[in-house]
Structure 1
């Protein structure tokens, strides 16, 4: 448990500016060994019962938490973080909500450890997550940062607040044999995950980059095979766009873009497949013909081909040319050529 190096009087004077509040607290401490939810109304502060998920705290615990209770943002130069942001980061998240009291206690334990053991001041603790993410209420980030501090605690000259946390944290996770965080692609304005301009493709999201600005693809939920060029344009939080210049054998796959597998495992979805990686799907042609209730002869007659020619398409011996492909799409009511296209799985592309 982190210890306070100052006397109680010195501790209160360091973190509370109002002498009247300090005197009220000292008088309250003389009368109580446990601090209840009434303490904030008693002091004239806004009541927040979530600061006391178990309705009361031992006096020693309350005193350790005074730096966080009484910190007020300066509202300038990005110094806007306060305790209520990180409480809200728990309350509003479904994965925390059912056990909110436990996670709020974990939050306070994390804050105490960062302040008293890692010697970070409260302003640094509350504002670094906001600067790194661009958002308030980033309690999950705070927990990750605490873990990062544990990982680097014994390292000499370690950076407690790296310029790009997501890069430094993943480096430490890998250095300790742990799985890194994979940053998945963001859905774009048209509800898709990729947009195209000729042979240049673009995806959006958070993209860890090295010191030279090159995206670290192993930490991004994308698989790119045989690209001509890959580069990123990101802001200070490493959020922005990833670009891929594609060639005829380039394939681009997105991780869990449209959901995971039924068993909860990761699913890779094709976002772009180069033309030299695609081929005619003869088995799908047969399946669609059977579904529509046609015989081979009926389809052959409808598109003006011989039965033997059509049979070769279904057998995979030959493929229809563009003229016959258009006729097949029309007769079988196929809306997209992708329905008759087969391509290699992401694992099989070199």
Structure 2
């Protein structure tokens, strides 16, 4: 990583500016090889213990981090981001808790590389994630952006701050032989992930789109078979809604909508299965009957059907008509036809 090339005094003037603070800091640095947390109250600044993952820092490391410590956003110029946002992005997330100090150090190393090696201004580093996501404290975005910058060093020349990082980053990942990020669906209400008006189905979330505005489905936690049309209505941050116009043979699945398997592997949940892809599940009918302790004859008698007719249903030779299906559901306390419906599996998607 490239470190500061300016003299110490020039470096401090560039990133601090205040002559009084610079004078005190040079005096301190002349007397210490390592810099401790007391440096900030000594300079009249608010003490920030998160700035030091360890009790002290080597002088050169501290100097390299001066641009981040002393950056103050100019809100009149539309700047909002600052160091504390990305530090809080670590300490507020459960996934970082046990290793917070390690991740804080990783954040600083990442910021240094982006600034000194990739030649990005501090204002760009701190504000680009907010403009891309609409939120502060997006530390994971910083890490992804930094990885993207590393990847494009070995690829064709690319923009350091692309219009949509989530698209450019996934493209760079795939070109480098790495798995892309799959963006999950957002819960709409009451643990539901899809809504329907007629034959138009809607899901919400962040949806990578190509230059023509078409959603890139391979990067979205959605699988669709035989749609009549798929389109997205998203804002400048690619956040919004994705729509599927369904036909009789359309099927839609969502990734991990209600959780992963116990071993952490993915689950594709059916969100909609078109009528031409559904069939009566004779094996499930048998399991439900046995669960309630009925014999075939007892269940046939209960719904007013002959034993031979019922046996053909369980054998998969015929299916019950709507009249008998309603009676079966009543006797067996089947509350949704999905309980005795077999449909296309996600592995069959072309």
TM interval, shorter chain, is: over 0.9
Matched residue pairs, number? 350
Aligned-pair CA distance for 1:177: 0.8
Superposed CA deviations along residues 80-137 of structure 1, whole A, max 9, x for unmatched, are 1000111111111122221111111111111111111111110000010111111111
Distance between the aligned counterparts of 1:137 and 1:4, measured in 2?
27
Query: In the alignment, what sits opposite 2:121?
Result: 121
Q: Summarize deviations over 1:269-293 as a string: whole Å, max 9, x none.
A: 1010000111001111111111112
- Per the alignment, in what secondary structure is the counterpart of residue 252 of structure 1? strand
2:341 counterpart residue number: 341
On the 8 A contact 2:149/2:160 being kept in 1, the answer is yes
Q: Which runs of 5+ in 2 are unaligned?
A: none
**1:266 equivalent in structure 2:** 266
Check the 8 A contact 2:224/2:253 in 1, yes or no: yes
**Alignment partner, residue 10 of structure 2:** 10
After alignment, is 257-266 or 237-246 more displaced?
Answer: 257-266
Instruction: Report what 2:317 is aligned to.
Output: 317
Does the Cα contact within 8 Å between 1:78 and 1:131 map onto a contact in 2? Answer: no
8 A Cα contact 2:36 2:57, kept in partner:
yes
Paired with 1:285 and 1:242, the residues of 2 have a C-alpha distance of 36
Distance in 2 separating the partners of 1:166 and 1:60: 34
Q: Which moved more, 1:289-298 or 1:161-170?
A: 289-298
Aligned residue number for residue 209 of structure 2: 209
In structure 2, the partner of 1:307 is: 307
Instruction: Point out the more displaced range, 111-120 or 224-233.
Output: 111-120
Deviation at 1:307, TM superposition (A): 1.3
| CA distance in 2: counterparts of 1:242 and 1:167, whole angstroms | 16
| Aligned pairs (5 A) from 1:195-344 | 195-344=195-344
The 2-side partners of 1:255 and 1:65 are apart by 41
Q: What runs of 5+ residues in structure 1 fail to find an aligned partner?
A: none
SS at match of 1:244: strand
Q: Give 1:189 deviation, angstroms.
A: 2.0
Could you give the per-residue CA deviations for residues 152-171 of structure 1, whole angstroms, max 9, x where no partner exists? 12556421000000000111
**1:266 aligned counterpart, secondary structure:** coil
Measure, in 1, the Cα distance between the counterparts of 2:77 and 2:95: 32
Q: Superposed, which structure 2 residues align to 1:91-130 within 5 Å? A: 91-130=91-130
RMSD: 1.2
What is the distance in 2 between the residues matched to 1:250 and 1:76?
51
SS at match of 2:137: coil
> Does the 8 A contact of 2:37 with 2:56 survive in 1?
yes
Q: Measure the CA separation in 1 of the matches of 2:337 and 2:157.
A: 58
Matches within 5 A, 1:109-188: 109-155=109-155, 157-188=157-188
Q: How far has the Cα of 1:349 moved from its partner?
A: 4.3
Q: Distance in 1 between matches of 2:139 and 2:274?
A: 41
Summarize deviations over 1:184-222 as a string: whole Å, max 9, x none: 111112321111111110111110000000000010111
After TM superposition, the structure 1 stretch with the greater mean CA deviation from structure 2, 93-102 or 49-58, is: 93-102
Secondary structure of the structure 2 residue equivalent to 1:25: helix
C-alpha separation in 2, matches of 1:301 and 1:155:
72
Matches within 5 A, 1:38-77: 38-76=38-76
**Structure 2 contact 224–349 (Cα < 8 Å) conserved:** no
**Inter-partner Cα distance in structure 1 for 2:83 and 2:212:** 36
Residues 316-335 of structure 1 deviation map (CA, whole Å, 9 limit, x = unaligned): 11000111111111111111
Runs of 4 or more above 3 Å deviation: 154-157
TM-score by length of 2: 0.97
CA distance in 1, matches of 2:267, 2:157: 40
Contact 1:87/1:137, CA 8 A, preserved across alignment: yes
Contact conserved, 2:226 with 2:250, CA < 8 A, in 1?
yes
